[in-house]
Amino acid sequence: MNGKYELGSVSSEETEFFYSSQLLERDREIGCIGHLRADFGRNGNEFWNTWENHFTDYKTQDFKDEFDSVINSLRDKGILKNRSAMSAHCGKHPEAKLADGRDNNYGFKIKTDSHVYYLRCNASQGDYNLYCYAYDRSRLEKAMPSLAETKTTLAERLEKGKRKASQHEKPDNTQKNKKREGIE
């Protein structure tokens, strides 16, 4: 766990989401909002970053607020605290090594109810240490149904709980009544 956001593992079919598409239509289809590129500076404790827009129609205020929360949480208590923290986290997760031809790239994802963030990490000094690609979750899962979780969201679980509770409030007494009246 990194702060309040958990870094998840990725499948091989997700590798493309760690990199920029050269096609605007592909960005639109998969809901790519943009990406953050960052490095920890010479001393490994700084955080120099730039943002690159991909498809700004999905760059809502809710997204901006959530993105800031994700990045700041990871900077405060997680993998983005500094280069040493990133290196240690990647070292503990050799399964996250990306098969992209570079030995020192590791990939993680964070899923929220509305977005998916793909973090490509490289703890080497002199390289960009982070690329974080942000996607609209519903668009990404529509384009790639195999990425959709079978788990329900919190809102869906609450709604299901409400329906179940309302069903318990109205017991079905028709069978009891039929038996009492001798109707079968």
Do 106 and 160 lie in a common domain? no
User: Is residue 6 included in any domain, yes or no?
Assistant: no
Q: What is the mean pLDDT of residues 122-145?
A: 95
For residue 50, the cross-strand partners are 37
Nearest to 121 by CA among 151, 141, 91, 149: 91
User: Is residue 26 included in any domain, yes or no?
Assistant: yes
pLDDT at 165: 56
Do 68 and 52 lie in a common domain? yes
Strand order in the sheet with 32-39: 48-53, 32-39, 130-136, 115-121, 106-111
Do 22 and 74 lie in a common domain? yes
Do 146 and 172 lie in a common domain? no
Task: Say yes or no to pLDDT of 4 above 90.
Answer: no
Nearest to 2 by CA among 75, 98, 65, 83: 75
Q: How many domains does the chain have?
A: 2
Q: What is the pTM of this model?
A: 0.78
Q: What is the mean pLDDT of residues 8-27?
A: 90
Query: What span, in angstroms and rounded, lies between the C-alpha atoms of 83 and 124?
Result: 8
Domain membership of residue 160 as a residue range: 152-184
Do 143 and 156 lie in a common domain? no
pLDDT, tens digit (0-9, with 9 covering 90-100), for 104-120: 899 999 999 999 999 99
Which two tokens mark 8? 């998840």
Do 158 and 143 lie in a common domain? no
Do 141 and 120 lie in a common domain? yes
Do 168 and 122 lie in a common domain? no
Task: Say yes or no to pLDDT of 128 above 70.
Answer: yes
Sequential DSSP letters for 119-138: EEE---TTS--EEEEEEEHH
User: Is residue 83 included in any domain, yes or no?
Assistant: yes
Residue 179 binned pLDDT confidence (cut-offs 50, 70, 90): very low
